[in-house]
C-alpha cells in the first residue's frame, strides 16, 4: 500500500510541477522532461504526464516553436540561430512564422540590426570594421548572403 501511495504522490508532484512550469511560459516537451528529471521524477511518470498534457493541448511543441521564434526574431536574431536554438530544445521542425519570412524580409532585418547597432556608414575602406560587423551579424544567425546584403546597405 505504501508503494502505491508513493507512486501517486510522485505522479501528483510531477503533474503539479509541470503545470506550474507551463503556467510561467511555453516549454517544449524536451525542456519540460529535462526539468522534471532534474527534480528526480521517474521517467515513466514523466512520459505519462507529458502525454496527457499534450492530449489536453497544454503542451505543444509547434506552439512553443512559433512563440519562441517570434520572440527571438523581435530580439534581432536570424533564421540560422533560431533554428539551431529550437533544435537544442528538441523541436526539429521549422515554425510557420519562419517559413513565412522571405529572403528579402531577412535582409531587411539584418540591415535594421546593423543600422541600430553600428549605423549604415560606407565600409569599403575600413576592412577591420567590415569584418567586425560581419562577425556580429553572423553570430546573430544571419546567412552569408544576408550579412553581405546588410554590409552593402548605405544611409540615404
Based on the fold, state whether residues 6 and 54 are members of the same structural domain.
yes
Whether residues 121 and 143 share a domain: the answer is yes
Question: What is the CATH classification number for the domain harbouring 107?
Answer: 1.10.10
For residues 137-153, give the mean pLDDT: 95
Q: Which of 94, 30, 142, 68 is nearest to 151 (CA)?
A: 142
Is residue 86 located within the same domain as residue 66? yes
The answer to whether residues 46 and 6 belong to one domain is yes
Domain of residue 66, residue span: 62-99
CATH classification of the domain holding 18: 1.10.10.10
Do both 53 and 73 map to the same domain?
A: no
Residues 39 and 80 in one domain: no
**83 and 112 housed in the same domain:** no
- Say yes or no: 107 and 138 in one domain: yes
- Residue 9 pLDDT class (50, 70, 90 cuts): confident
CA distances from 50 to 21, 30, 65, 95 (A): 12, 10, 17, 21
CA distance 152 to 65: 32
pLDDT band at 4 (very low <50, low <70, confident <90, very high): low
Residues 32 and 78 in one domain: no
pLDDT, average across residues 95-112: 94
How many separate domains does the chain show?
3
Give yes or no: residues 51 and 77 share one domain.
no
Query: Are 107 and 91 within one domain?
Result: no
Chain segment 115-141, per-residue pLDDT in tens: 999 999 888 899 999 999 999 999 999
Same-domain check for residues 84 and 109: no
At 2 the pLDDT is 45
Position with higher pLDDT, 124 vs 23: 23
Q: Which of 109, 63, 113 is nearest to 86 (CA)?
A: 63
- pLDDT at 95 (0 to 100): 94
User: What is the reported pLDDT for 7?
Assistant: 60
Indicate the pTM of the whole model: 0.86
Q: Cα(107)–Cα(64) distance, rounded to whole angstroms?
A: 25
Residue in this structure with the C-alpha cell 532585418, named with its chain if needed? 109
The three cell numbers locating residue 86: 529550437
- % of the chain surpassing 70 pLDDT: 94
Q: What is the mean pLDDT of the chain?
A: 91
Amino acid at each position: 500500500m505504501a508503494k502505491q501511495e508513493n507512486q501517486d504522490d510522485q505522479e501528483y508532484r510531477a503533474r503539479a510541477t509541470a503545470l506550474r512550469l507551463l503556467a510561467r511560459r511555453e516549454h517544449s516537451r524536451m525542456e519540460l522532461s529535462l526539468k522534471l528529471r532534474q527534480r528526480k521524477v521517474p521517467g515513466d511518470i514523466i512520459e505519462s504526464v507529458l502525454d496527457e498534457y499534450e492530449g489536453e493541448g497544454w503542451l505543444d511543441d509547434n506552439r512553443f516553436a512559433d512563440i519562441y521564434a517570434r520572440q527571438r526574431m523581435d530580439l534581432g536574431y536570424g533564421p540560422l540561430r533560431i533554428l539551431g536554438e529550437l533544435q537544442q530544445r528538441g523541436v526539429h521542425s521549422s515554425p510557420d512564422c519562419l517559413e513565412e519570412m522571405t529572403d528579402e524580409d531577412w535582409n531587411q532585418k539584418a540591415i535594421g540590426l546593423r543600422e541600430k547597432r553600428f549605423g549604415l556608414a560606407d565600409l569599403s575602406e575600413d576592412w577591420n570594421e567590415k569584418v567586425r560587423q560581419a562577425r556580429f551579424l553572423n553570430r546573430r544567425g544571419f546567412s552569408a548572403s544576408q550579412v553581405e546584403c546588410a554590409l552593402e546597405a548605405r544611409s540615404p
